[in-house]
Chains A and B, each alone.
Chain A
Amino acid sequence: MRKDKSMRKTWLQSVKIRPSDITPEHRFLSRRALLAGGAGVAALGALSLTGLTRRALGQPAAAASEAAAGAAGALTFTRNAAYSVSEPPNSYQDITTYNNFYEFGTDKSDPAEYAQKLRTHPWTVSVGGECEVTGRYALEDILKPHPLEERIYRLRCVEAWSMVVPWVGFPLGDLLKRFKPTSKAKFVEFKTLYDPAQMPGQRRSVLPWPYVEGLRIDEAMHPLALMVVGLYGKVLPNQDGAPLRLIVPWKYGFKGIKSIVSIRFTERMPGTTWAGAAPSEYGFYANVNPAVDHPRWSQATERHIGGSLFGQRRPTLPFNGYADQVAALYSGMDLKRYF
């Protein structure tokens, strides 16, 4: 049956006029052209430098004091206040020791302990699917043209806890546009590295590996969707998804795929990891929504990590507080059905 489907698709594709047929030749971008671009070189240098230094010193990133890490892994960036919340961010300690990154184990403390073995340099990202510019790119080439900015975002986990995190990155849309998605590109699919030798959690089949996430193309192009390479002004620690991760602040945290090695444009909605593992509990959209409970727990409130033992619980906001910016993306959609 699957075979039939793919055959039909091929046939359809052969009939349709491909966007490249109507794109003037001079508009095509060669890989070389894609790599040309000036900004962010300083940050890039720092990125690879940190990778080296950290390994050379054998120093776990989580344990490194902010000052020590700051000296080696400082990124060049501007603060984007317009895209930042005013709440105080969680501590570096909290953000780097309390992680859901099942590739390194299912306990919140596992990633900080086991992710230090991950080699983030060299790193390649393959780009393919419904786009004109495809190929395998070194991380440096992916990042080169993008000036970095800091945005302080809310992070709401599907497990009903939340944090505020100062990420450093650049708009996902700016990156995706460089690959010239075709008119068939309705979705973007991301994949995490699959390497059980470096990611001990992948030796057990808690989830089907590699981890896959995806966005509708208009969601991906939304200016709030962020490609992240740093945290607290420094290179992203491994346990937080180094060297390249996604942050979609109006969606539950699991949409923010970590350690990305593949970006593909697709015509159909990609099958994503959690939505596939437990379809009744996690959906493709996974927009933060206090009105739609997880089948086993309420999403109406959240416990804010950090601070005192008391009074951590606060109401959860629709779209995690970003409703003004993103609600229009879903106008006319039944969000109870497309949870």
Chain B
Amino acid sequence: MSWQIRYLGKPLVFAACLYPVLHLLAGAFGLAGVSLGADPVAVMLHTCGKWTLNFLMITLCMTPLRDLTHSTLWLRFRRMFGLFAFFYVLLHLTVYLVLDQAGKLGALWQDILKRPYITIGMLGLVLLVPLAFTSTAKSQRRLGRRWTRLHRLVYLVAVLGVWHFWWQVKKDIREPLLYACGLTLLLGYRLWKERRSLVKVGAGRLARTDGA
């Protein structure tokens, strides 16, 4: 089982995760009959942004799926999905900086200061950096419980990401609303689990006191 995941499951999933960026590259160079339409820069920007959110959502699905299926198989893919979220957000920023703003760093800095949706987007990206750097098994071992606490930052990052999307939509909020609902479910599940375990612990303590 372990062997199959490592040499079959993971490479296949990895290749699938690259599909969006390969599609964009084909479109940018006019390969394989792919076209990005009249405004390729906007398509690249939005595709990378949406896949960042998609991968954040997928990453957050792994724990509920483990609980639901009683299988830890899911957790073996969690790091890859998280790192793909980071990969796509870096591409998102690169497209914005190099293609949209034509490499004007001053413009980016001004946007960060002046545009709230860019401020929170950048904040989300910056918060992902320590998570990406401590994603190795070695870091996980070294940081121990602190690793778990640190990586809870991903909840905040996901909230900032959806917020960033919501704020730049002109009027049709269907898509950001969908992400917001999904995220509410995923985070709500964790809150519910936490409360339930607290109640359990509390009840256990109470029972012990009674017995004493």
| B114 interface residue (CB < 8 Å to A) | yes
Task: Judge whether B138 is part of the interface by a CB distance below 8 angstroms.
Answer: no
Partner of B38, one of A94, A277, A298: A94
Task: Determine whether the beta carbon of B39 is less than 8 Å from that of A298.
Answer: no
9-residue interface stretch from A13-21, A125-133, A148-156, A302-310: A302-310
Bound together, the chains give a CA A98 to CA B38 distance in angstroms of 6
Contact of B37 among A109, A161, A297, A310 (CB under 8 A): A109
Task: Contact check, A298 vs B37: say whether CB atoms are below 8 A apart.
Answer: no
From B99-107, B121-129, B154-162, the one touching the partner chain is: B99-107
| Interface: B41 (CB within 8 A) | yes
Instruction: Check B171–A207 contact: CB distance below 8 A.
Output: yes
In the complex, are the beta carbons of B38 and A312 less than 8 A apart?
Answer: no
Are B102 and A310 in contact, with the CB atoms below 8 A? yes
Pairwise interchain contact B39-A310, C-beta atoms closer than 8 A: no
Chain B interfacial positions (CB closer than 8 Å to A): 28, 37-42, 98-102, 104, 107, 110-111, 114-117, 167-168, 170-172
Answer whether A312 and B102 are a contact pair too, CB < 8 Å, given A97-B37, A296-B117, A303-B41: yes
Contact B101 A98 (CB under 8 A): no
A122 at the interface (CB under 8 A from B): no
Are B171's CB and A309's CB within 8 A?
Answer: no
A108 and B102 contact, CB distance less than 8 A: no
Distance in angstroms from B82 CB to nearest chain A CB is 29
Q: Interface SS of chain B: helix, strand, loop or mixed?
A: helix
- Which residue in B37, B101, B111 is a CB contact (below 8 Å) of A313? B101
Q: Which of A102, A106, A311 contacts B102, CB < 8 Å?
A: A311
Give A102 to B40 CA distance when docked, in angstroms: 21
10 examples of A-B residue contacts, CB within 8 angstroms: A90-B38, A97-B37, A296-B116, A296-B167, A297-B115, A298-B111, A305-B39, A309-B41, A310-B99, A313-B102
Residue numbers in A under 8 Å from B110 (CB-CB): 298
Q: What is the CB-to-nearest-CB distance from A211 to chain B, in angstroms, rounded to a whole number? A: 12
Q: Please tell me the number of chain A residues within 8 Å of chain B, measured between CB atoms.
A: 28
| Contact A108–B37 (Cβ < 8 Å) | yes
B100 touches A303 (CB 8 A): yes
Where chain A touches its partner, the secondary structure class is loop
- Give A260 to B104 CA distance when docked, in angstroms: 41
Residues of A within 8 Å of B42, CB to CB, are 161, 303
Whether B38 and A305, one on each chain, are in contact in the complex, defined by CB atoms closer than 8 angstroms, is yes
Indicate if the CB atoms of A277 and B171 lie closer than 8 Å: yes
- Residues of B within 8 Å of A305, CB to CB, are 38-39
CB-defined contacts of B102 to chain A, threshold 8 Å: 310-313
Residues of B within 8 A of A90 (CB): 38
Complex: how many Å from CA A108 to CA B43? 11
Cross-chain contact A296 with B38 (CB below 8 angstroms): no
B21 CB to closest chain A CB, in angstroms?
A: 15
Q: Confirm or deny: A278 has a beta carbon within 8 angstroms of a beta carbon on chain B.
A: yes
Residues of A within 8 A of B107 (CB): 301
Q: What chain B residues lie within 8 Å of A195 (beta carbons)? A: none
Chain B residues within an 8 Å CB radius of A183: none
Residues of chain A in range 97-120 having any CB-CB distance to chain B below 8 Å:
97-98, 102, 106, 108-109
Determine if A309 and B37 form an interchain contact, defined as CB atoms under 8 angstroms apart: no
The reply to whether the CB of A206 lies closer than 8 angstroms to some CB of chain B is yes
Smallest CB gap from A201: residue in B: B172
CB distance from B112 to the nearest CB of A (A): 12
Contact A296/B171 with A98-B37, A313-B100 known, Cβ cut-off 8 Å: no
Return chain A residues, CB-CB under 8 Å to B116. Answer: 296
Contact B111 A296 (CB under 8 A): no
- B171 cross-chain contacts in A, Cβ below 8 A: 102, 106, 206-207, 277-278
- In the complex, chain A residues 277-303 whose Cβ is within 8 Å of any chain B Cβ: 277-278, 293, 296-298, 301, 303
Task: Name the contact of A297 in the complex, choosing from B28, B38, B39, B168 (C-beta under 8 A).
Answer: B168
> How many angstroms from the CA of A331 to the CA of B157 in the assembled complex?
48
Pair B39/A296 contact, Cβ less than 8 Å: no
Within 8 Å CB of B115, what residues of A?
296-298
Closest chain A residue, CB of each to CB of B28: A309
- Min CB distance A80 to B, Å, is 26
Most chain A CB atoms below 10 A, which of B39, B41, B99, B170: B170
The answer for the CA separation of A97 and B170 in the assembled complex, in Å, is 19
Cα–Cα, bound, A310→B28 (Å): 11
Whether the Cβ atoms of B38 and A309 lie closer than 8 Å is no
Residues in A whose Cβ lies below 8 Å from that of B37: 97-98, 108-109
Question: Residue of B at shortest CB range from A277?
Answer: B171
Establish whether residues A306 and B38, one from each chain, have CB atoms under 8 Å apart when the complex forms.
yes
